[in-house]
Amino acid sequence: MLNIIETNLQFNGNKTIRDLSTIKRIILHHSGVSVLQTVETIHNYHKNSRGYAGIGYHFYVRKDGNIYRGRPLEYVGAHAYNHNADSIGICAEGDFNLETMSDVQKNAIMELVEYLRGVYNISSVQGHKEVCATSCPGANFPLSEIVNGTITKNETVQTTKSIDEIAQEVINGKYGVGEARKQSLGSLYNEVQAKVNEILLGKKTTVAKKSNEEIANEVIAGKWGNGQDRKAKLATAGYDYNAIQKIVNQKLR
Ligand SMILES: [Zn+2]
C-alpha cells in the first residue's frame, strides 16, 4: 500500500502551472549529502538560497522508506535543467556516490515509480545524469533495478484487521495453505498461524517475540513497509512502533 506523506509546504509565485497530461517522464535524483535532511530543510534551501518557488522535487524518499510530497505535480519542477516541463522529479535522501541504498528506501522508490506509472502516461524513467551533465543520482544508485524492477509483494494482508480476524480468514481458506499462506501473510504468519492452531486445536502456542533491535533491522530490510502501513503492521504484531522507529533512525544516521 503506497503511502505518501502530505506536507504543507508554501510555494511562492515563482512557479509554472502545467496540465498533468503533459507528464511523460520520471527523473531520479539523490540529495547528494550523507546527512539526514527533512523535506522542509530542502524546501527552505531551494526557496531561500536558490530562488526557486520551493522544493524542486515532487517527491522526497527518506532513508527510512517514508515518501514525502514535495512540489505539487501541477507545478513544473526545478530538478533537471531543460527537462522539467514534462517530468516528475523524485529525490532519494543520501549520497549514492558514497553510500549504498537500503532495501527499505529502494522498495519505497520502486513502489512510488510503479504507482506513478499507473496514474500518468510515463514513457521513461531516467537518472538525472542521463539528461544533464551531473553524477546525480550517484554511481551506487540502483538505477536499472528501479527503472526495470517489478515489485514482489509478499504482504497482501490488510493489516487493519486483528490477528483473530485474519486467523478466521485463514480457516475459511482465504490465504491458501503452506508456502502460499506464508507468502500472503508475510511478517504476520507466525502469529496468525499460532492463533489458527489455538482456534482449531484448542492449544495455546506462544509466539516468540523478537527484540526491537531485530525488528528495526527487518524494517530497514523493507519487511514492514512504510508510513502508516508500517505503523499498523507493527501495532498488529504487538510491537512498539515509536521505540522501533527510534532505533531505525539511529541506525540510518
Ligand atoms: Zn539530480
Place of cell 539526514: 36
Average pLDDT over residues 30-48: 97
Please say if the pLDDT value at position 159 is more than 60: no
Please say if the pLDDT value at position 141 is more than 50: yes
Average pLDDT over residues 151-172: 68
**Least confident interval from 27-41, 107-121, 150-164, 239-253:** 150-164
Question: Residue 32 corresponds to which amino acid?
Answer: G
- Give the model's pLDDT for residue 209: 81
Which helix (H) or strand (E) segment holds residue 235: the answer is helix 227-236
Between CA 80 and CA 231 the distance in angstroms is 34
Q: Three-class SS of residue 7?
A: coil
- Give the model's pLDDT for residue 150: 64
How many whole angstroms from 253 Cα to the centroid of ligand 1?
22
Give 15: exposed, middle or buried? Use CB within 10 Å, 0-12, 13-18, 19+: middle
How many whole angstroms from 220 Cα to the centroid of ligand 1?
24
Average pLDDT over residues 16-41: 97
The residues, ordered by sequence, that sit 6+ positions from 230 with a Cβ below 8 Å of its Cβ are 65, 219, 224, 241
> Among the ranges 97-101, 147-151, 203-207, 249-253, which has the highest mean pLDDT value?
97-101
Q: Three-class SS of residue 92?
A: strand
How many whole angstroms from 82 Cα to the centroid of ligand 1?
13
- Give the model's pLDDT for residue 197: 81
- 122 and 23 in contact (C-beta within 8 Å)? yes
Q: 11: which 3 cell numbers?
A: 510555494
Average pLDDT over residues 121-127: 96
How many whole angstroms from 226 Cα to the centroid of ligand 1?
24
Reported as a single tens digit per residue, the pLDDT across 96-123 is 999 999 999 999 999 999 999 999 999 9
- 105 and 62 in contact (C-beta within 8 Å)? yes
Please provide the average confidence, as pLDDT, over all residues in the chain.
89
The residues, ordered by sequence, that sit 6+ positions from 179 with a Cβ below 8 Å of its Cβ are none
- Estimate to the nearest angstrom the gap between the alpha carbon of 71 and the chain centroid: 17
Of residues 156, 5, 112, 117, the one with CA closest to residue 66: 5
> Among the ranges 44-53, 162-171, 209-218, which has the highest mean pLDDT value?
44-53
Give CA angle at 41 (37, 46), nearest 5°.
120
DSSP letters, 118-179, are HHS---EEEEGGGTSSS-TT-TTS-HHHHHH----------TTS-HHHHHHHHHTTTT-SHH
How many whole angstroms from 160 Cα to the centroid of ligand 1?
37
Reported as a single tens digit per residue, the pLDDT across 172-210 is 777 777 777 787 787 788 888 888 888 877 766 666 688
> Among the ranges 134-148, 155-169, 183-197, which has the highest mean pLDDT value?
134-148
- Give the model's pLDDT for residue 158: 46
For the chain, give every residue range classified as CATH 3.40.80.10: 4-148
How many whole angstroms from 99 Cα to the centroid of ligand 1?
16
How many whole angstroms from 57 Cα to the centroid of ligand 1?
9
- Give the model's pLDDT for residue 156: 47
Please say if the pLDDT value at position 46 is more than 90: yes
Q: 82: which 3 cell numbers?
A: 531543460
Place of cell 512504510: 226
The hierarchical CATH code for the domain 4-148 is 3.40.80.10
